[in-house]
Amino acid sequence: MSTAERLVVVVLFEDVDLLDITGPPEVFSLLRRETDGAAGYEVLLAAETMAPVTTSAGVRVLPDVTFREASTRGIDTLLVPGSVEVDDRGRVHALADPAVVDRVRTLAGRARRVASVCVGAHILAAAGLLDGKRATTHWSTARQLAAEHPAVEVDPDPIFIREGAVWTGAGISACLDLSLALVADDFGEGVALRVARQLVMYLKRPSGQSQFSVPLEPVSATRRVEDLRHHITDNLGGRLTVADLAEHAHVSERQLTRIFKSELGTTPSAYIETARVERARGRLESTDDTLERVASVCGFGTTDTLVRAFRRRLGTTPTEYRSRFRAGRA
């Protein structure tokens, strides 16, 4: 390995998310090409043994080294991916195998920095590496992370968070944003920009930017709440007060609020606003509608109400959102 290369060790284990382990190396490999080999990373996939590891996508991956061998190397960056299980109701639960946690704890002690990808944050937390730190993960498991590790300040909104030598990244494709941020930190923004262009992606969604996903889950266990959810979706542009919903469900307003809180973990008003923001996102991405039109069609009434909802739910404005995510924009 040349002096210009930095060793990245990616942790492998059964049922690991495939993109978590393939996305970052793709970013790192383009760095070498964009610098004509003058700078780059050496990436090693490490597992308990040298046997093939089956990912969550069913694709088998061959490790380069064992965990024991990796621990003898000078690790620049330890990259920790994640894995989940989904129950029969579609609920996602992040996994943290104790054996993997122990290996990560050991390897982290030999690394200059540690970065988790998606729900890999749960492994870092279980290893005690996030105690007293602010961290992010995929929004679908953020509540689980906060509940299981109260010493961690969980923020489900940012694309990635840096706390000293520990980085945590949000879900799925955000692994590319995290990897670009690591490249920029190591070799400068100019090099990272060239890599981003090769990937045909925005250089870096700022670390504080929202994951831009409005979670309308989980699916309710009761038919009545599912009917309410469909009713809301079908009538977003119209009148949707708590009184209207209570009348539709043939319950009192107080009982309706209790049902939403117990079944969906939110209030009726908050759920309606979330659903309207989700609908507005789609129109901003796929149409040339004016903000006035989007506000009207999605039930916000005024652009001011639309803007306030976007700031509250996504941490940005409708105009800024459209400029970044408008499909087919120049």
Enzyme catalytic residues: 118
Q: 3-state DSSP call for residue 165? A: coil
> For residues 144 and 175, is the Cβ–Cβ distance under 8 A?
no
Beta strands in 158-288 (DSSP E): 160-163, 166-169
Q: Angle formed by the axes of helices 189-198 and 174-187, to 10°?
A: 140
Whose structure tokens read 């690790």?
Answer: 75
Distance CA 230, CA 153 (A): 34
Burial category of 74 from C-beta neighbours within 10 Å (exposed 0-12, middle 13-18, buried 19 and up): exposed
Tokens found for residue 25: 């190396």
CA 248/CA 173 separation, integer angstroms: 39
Three-state SS annotation for 300-312: CCCHHHHHHHHHH
| Interatomic CA distance for residues 250 and 273, integer angstroms | 22
Cα atoms in the 13 Å half-sphere on the side-chain side of 138: 21
